[in-house]
Amino acid sequence: MIYSSSKGLSTKSLIITAMFTAIICVLSQIIIPIQPIPFSLSLLAIFLTGALLEPRYAFLSTLAYLLLGAFGLPVFAGFKGGINILTGMTGGFLMAYPLMAFITSLFYQISLKLKSTSSWNKLNHKTLPALGMVISLFICYLIGSLWFSYVADTTISYALTVCVIPFIAFDLLKIIMALSAAMAIKRVLGQVI
């Protein structure tokens, strides 16, 4: 973890949480306009947030992102904002973000704790965080597809066909990018921030 603290919310933890909220806001604007769900780098930001912050701060950072957007700031993909985005067809995917960051971070924490055991090896150290990201992505797909099918008044299979299947390869690539970036950032910064 780039930032981990057993204390309550400190000024430093709030600043770092806000910094990751800003990173999510910026990466969410890098989009490829595929309809009906824009392909953005927001998931990459969510995975990085989970990889670099402890679970509670990862959750708070992504929740702050959603609240900023809900209050109308143009932080969602395509510089959109407002509660209508969260209640619209893509809202379920967005609402899954805090849970995704939390789960990703939790798997990283478990990986770090198990790293000190004698049976732990480098492959496991990389596999467990990747597994956390895949599980969190599956949860995002599930929540997002259920929400999409409800709002669009369509079937789950249609929601999966439109909202999930076209994005699986891109999202797996984002996981690989996030794992690589997180390792590089940890190597360079360590516990600096």
Residue 116 pLDDT greater than 90, yes or no? no
- pLDDT value, residue 87: 97
Task: Indicate the pLDDT class of residue 186, thresholds 50, 70 and 90.
Answer: confident
Nearest Cα to Cα of residue 108 among 96, 90, 121, 126: 126
Cβ atoms 25, 75 nearer than 8 A: yes
Q: Match 């709002």 to its residue by tokens.
A: 151
Classify domain 11-187 by CATH number: 1.10.1760.20
- The three-state DSSP-derived secondary structure of the chain is CCECCCCCCCHHHHHHHHHHHHHHHHHCCCEECCCCCCEECHHHHHHHHHHHECHHHHHHHHHHHHHHHHCCCCCECCCECCHHHHHCCCHHHHHCHHHHHHHHHHHHHHHHHHHCCCCCCHHHHHHHHHHHHHHHHHHHHHHHHHHHHHHCCCCHHHHHHHHCHHHHHHHHHHHHHHHHHHHHHHHHHCCCC
More confident residue, 28 or 117: 28
Task: Using the Cα atoms of residue 97, residue 99, residue 101 and residue 107 in order, give the sign of their dihedral.
Answer: negative
Q: Could you read off the pLDDT of 23-62 as tens digits, one per residue?
A: 999 999 998 776 666 678 999 999 999 999 999 999 999 9
Residue 191 pLDDT greater than 70, yes or no? no
- pLDDT value, residue 111: 87
More confident residue, 116 or 29: 29
- pLDDT value, residue 115: 74
Structure tokens at 28: 């969410």
Domain boundaries, the chain: 11-187
Summary mean pLDDT of the chain: 90
- pTM here is 0.89
Q: Which residues contact 121 (CB under 8 A, 6 or more apart)?
A: none
64-80 average pLDDT score: 96
Cα 123 to Cα 56, 81, 111, 127, distances in angstroms = 26, 41, 11, 6
Q: Match 């995975």 to its residue by tokens.
A: 47
- pLDDT value, residue 72: 97
Residue 167 pLDDT greater than 80, yes or no? yes
Percent of the chain with pLDDT over 70: 87
Residue 2 pLDDT greater than 60, yes or no? no
